[in-house]
Structure 1
Amino acid sequence: MNNPKLWTKNFLIISTANFFLYFTYYLLMVTITIFATEKFHASPSQAGLASGIFVIGILIARIFSGRYIDQVGWKKMLYIGFTFFLITTCLYILVNNMYFLLINRFLNGAAMGIASTATGTIVAKVIPNERRGEGTGYYTLSLTIAASIGPFLGMFITGHASFYMNFIVCIILLVFSFIAVFFVKVPRLEFKKEQLEQRKGFSLHNFFEIKAIPISIVATIIALGYSSILIFITSYTKEVNLVDVGSLFFVVYAIFVLVSRPFTGRWFDKKGENFVMYPAILLFATALFILSQTHKGFSLLSAGALFGLGYGTTSSSVQAIAVKVSPKHRIGLATSTNFIFQDLGIGIGPFILGYFVPLIDYRGLYMMMAVIEFICIFLYYFLHGKK
């Protein structure tokens, strides 16, 4: 029996559009603090707020876009999100004070939340159920590659050209993706009368998909570990005198995600999610442990490789599981629920973990996170694996 087709025009367009969304996200996330500091002489806390308020915008928008995406329409929500995101990205060129920057960062984050919820919902529908793990894995590669290229290119442009060139590059790429999404054919989803009645009112059930919450809790703990690397790896490599090698950490991470994604996705579909999730979480915990013991460049890059195999696999798998366990008519809510929980882990991670650094230093922090991620294996078992 032949597998249904995965690499359709719709799948390719949505994946490409998602790449440009996250490319802009990561490029500006690592450079906006420099912009705020140099342009408006912002204090470190103000510059940090300029970066973090974007995530707040994402979270708020995802809660409401997941709630209303079915009523508004998936394709219409896609257009709204991309239009809003393109406009607010253009507005960066006009920013002339710190207050304007903070407001626009919040609105830009909200637009990102709407657009990414729409792309995640639509791609969940166009991926055949028989290839759910494989398709979700390839789709989330757009995020992984963006997370590798965006920060690198942003820092390169900042160091070799005017800072405003960052905005221009993002705008050009977003215009391209904005045009492309108009050629997406979004599958129609018919709702029964009782399903529409359930959506009325203001209740938790209408903002979150309850069946997706257990795996989303696991996703939060995994994302917490990811945030410890994303935020503190640069400072850590300076502390252990591995700055030059440290610049290659995320490159190695991306390479191993790219290499592993094809077969981990197929294993998910053919052997089940437990076959993939247990070893992936263990590999992630091992990566954090090696990171805590790093003294040489080889061990640092080895941790990057295991990080790619571990976190790179879990991040796509939890999204596929959230959709898999949820009713078809609540795919939008399942997608936004999983994203919200992952964003919470990444968003609150730096704030919480930052308190531990003065107490146990970076090595102690990564050892602590290794233990937490190892415990997450049992959390996964009780919340989803045993079922």
Structure 2
Amino acid sequence: MNKETLWTKNFISVSASNFFLFVVFYFLLVTMPVYALQRLGGNATEAGLLTTFFLISAIIIRPFAGQWIEQFGRKTILISSQVIFLGASLLYFLPDTFGMMLVIRFIHGIGFGMATTAAGAMVAEIIPGSRRGEGMGYFVMSTNLAMVIGPFLGLTAMRQWGSSVMFMICIAISALALISGLLVNAAEHKHTARALSIFQVKFNPKDLFEFSALPIAVVGAFFSVAYASILSFVSVYAEEIHVGEAASYFFIVYAIVLLLSRPFTGKWFDRYGANVIIYPAIFLFAAGLLLLSQTGTAIVFLIAAGIIGLGWGTLFPSFQTIAIQEASPQKKALATATFLSVFDLGIGLGSFIIGWAVTGMSFSMLYVYCAVYVLVGLFVYSLLHGRQAKKKHQMEKGEHQVV
């Protein structure tokens, strides 16, 4: 039997577009708080609001983006949102007050939320059904790679060339996201929706959320709370344990492990089912956090990075794949929006909880608790999806044996 093609022009283009979107996201995630403190005269709390406003607008817009995708088509919404995203990038030169910058961050988040929803829905349509787990793994890897390149490029630009060059690079990368999106050939709706219908959104919960995706979205959000401890504080922890020089390599090692493992984990997901991949990945994620809590050398610190990369880097694309698989074909865009919105809520809530927790304990103890928390996630996953997945896999296996 011929193997269905995964690496098509469309798949590469939409993955590249997603990569550039997230490079800008992580680029600004690490530079905007510093810019707010140094150039806009904000305090630490206000600087944190720059990320909060961005994520809030992205979360709010995603359910509506899912509806608009069904009305106007995936590519139409992808390109429209990338135009908004690029336009917002052009505005960063203008504000001289903190309030104006918050407005721009809110607009930027709208473009980001719409674009990532459309890209996720589009790639779900492009990937062959028999290679869904493998394809989603590679697609999500574009996000993981952006998480490495974005912060590195952003901090380098700010330190070496200043904020003007930093924003120019942001504009250039946003333009690359738009160009990549234009290269995607997507089958659009045969009917033409009226332009005014974009304002005629439905507020019925069934139209705003895909309920089949909610259980696995809640699972993803549960684990993202622990992952927020890595995103927000791993570099601070590295300084505390005197391995600060290794902090910049943490996500590089993380990404290398992802690159090496992705050809196997995605295929195993498709062949053996979700549980065979997810349960070991949960243990690996917990083990990486536990090792991180006990590290005192750069080598152990980076080994922990690799284990966390293998664990969490396998969990996230697996969860997103499940969310898409559980939805009907016409609801895959809404399923993507639902999953990403709930996941982002987990990241936002996790950042707040972790930030509050570290005021009363050491980072070492924090990561011990995070490891225990992840192990509790075994039961959360089993309850919300694992048991059903096992029954479904056994039924499919029995059907194949009968045939």
TM-score by length of 2: 0.91
Contact 1:54–1:106 (Cα < 8 Å) also in 2: yes
1:342 aligns with 2:343: yes
CA distances 1:35-71 after superposition (whole Å, capped 9, x unpaired): 1111111111111112221111111111221233201
- 3-state SS of 1:360 partner: coil
Q: Do 2:73 and 2:188's aligned partners in 1 also have CA atoms closer than 8 Å? A: no
Q: Match for residue 143 of structure 2?
A: 143
> How far 1:176 sits from its partner (Å)?
2.6
Classify the secondary structure of the residue corresponding to 1:386: helix
Number of residue pairs the alignment of both structures matches: 380
Equivalent pair of 1:67/1:208 in contact (CA under 8 Å): no
Match of 1:194 in 2: none
- C-alpha displacement at 1:201, in angstroms? 4.8
Partner of residue 32, structure 2: 32
Superposed counterparts of 1:47-62, under 5 Å: 47-62=47-62
Instruction: Judge conservation of contact 1:28–1:154 (CA < 8 Å) in 2.
Output: yes
Q: Cα offset for 1:333?
A: 0.8
Shift in Å, 1:175: 1.7
Structure 1 residue 200: deviation in Å?
A: 8.2
1:174 and 1:107 map into 2 onto residues whose CA distance is 14
Structure 2 CA distance for aligned equivalents of residues 36 and 164 of structure 1: 14
Matched with 2:220 is 219
| Larger mean Cα displacement after TM superposition, 139-148 or 38-47 | 38-47
Report the counterpart of residue 158 of structure 2 in structure 1. 158
Q: SS at the partner of 1:359?
A: coil
After superposition, the Cα gap between the structure-2 partners of 1:290 and 1:2, relative to the gap in structure 1 and judged at 3 Å, is: same
Root-mean-square deviation over aligned CA pairs = 1.5
For residue 7 of structure 1, give the secondary structure of its aligned residue in structure 2.
coil
- The runs of 5 or more residues in structure 1 that have no matched partner are 192-198
Query: Hey, what's the Cα distance between the residues in 1 that align with 2:175 and 2:248?
Result: 30
Per the alignment, residue 45 of structure 2 pairs with 45
Q: 1:188: how far off?
A: 4.3
CA contact (8 A) 1:126 1:187 kept: no
Going from structure 1 to structure 2, the CA distance change for 1:200 and 1:94 (only over 3 Å counts) comes to closer
Q: Mapping of 1:66-105 within 5 angstroms?
A: 66-105=66-105
Give how far 1:187 is off.
Answer: 3.0
Partners of 2:328 and 2:64 lie apart in 1 by: 19
Matches within 5 A, 1:104-123: 104-123=104-123
Is 1:259 matched up with 2:256? no
C-alpha distance in structure 2 between counterparts of 1:125 and 1:225, whole Å: 31
Aligned pairs (5 A) from 1:200-349: 201-349=202-350
Query: Given that residues 256 and 308 in structure 1 are in contact (C-alpha distance below 8 angstroms), is that contact kept between their aligned partners in structure 2?
Result: yes
* CA displacement at 1:300 relative to structure 2: 1.0
Q: Which residue of 2 aligns with 1:129?
A: 129
Structure 2 partner of 1:196: none
Assess, with a 3 A threshold, how the Cα gap between structure 1 residues 201 and 100 changes in structure 2: closer, same or farther: closer
Report the Cα offset of residue 4 of structure 1: 0.9
> Shift in Å at residue 360 of structure 1?
2.3
Provide the rounded CA distance (Å) in 1 between the counterparts of 2:244 and 2:183: 44
Corresponding residue for residue 3 of structure 1: 3
Contact 2:72-2:189 within 8 A present in 1 as well: no
Between the aligned partners of 1:134 and 1:306, the Cα distance in structure 2 is 20
Q: 1:125, 1:187 within 8 Å by CA — same for their partners in 2? A: no
Structure 2, unmatched stretches of 5+, are 192-199, 389-403
Q: What SS does structure 1 have at the residue aligned with 2:2?
A: coil
CA distance in 2, matches of 1:100, 1:51: 14
Q: Structure 1, residues 286-316: CA drift from partner, whole Å, max 9, x if none?
A: 1111111112222211110001100001111
Residue 370 of structure 1 pairs with residue 379 of structure 2: no
Residues 199-248 of structure 1 show CA distances to partners (whole Å, capped at 9, x for unaligned) of 98532111111111111111001111111111011211111111112221
Separation of aligned partners in 2, 1:207 and 1:201: 7
> Matched residue of 1:358: which SS?
coil
Indicate whether 1:380 and 2:363 are aligned: no
Q: Say yes or no: does 1:356 pair with 2:357.
A: yes
Task: Give yes or no for contact 2:6–2:135 (8 Å, CA) kept in 1.
Answer: yes
**Aligned-partner residue type, residue 307 of structure 2:** L
Distance 2:189 2:264 in 1: 31
What are the superposed Cα offsets for residues 240-259 of structure 1, whole Å, 9 maximum, x if unpaired? 11111222111111110111
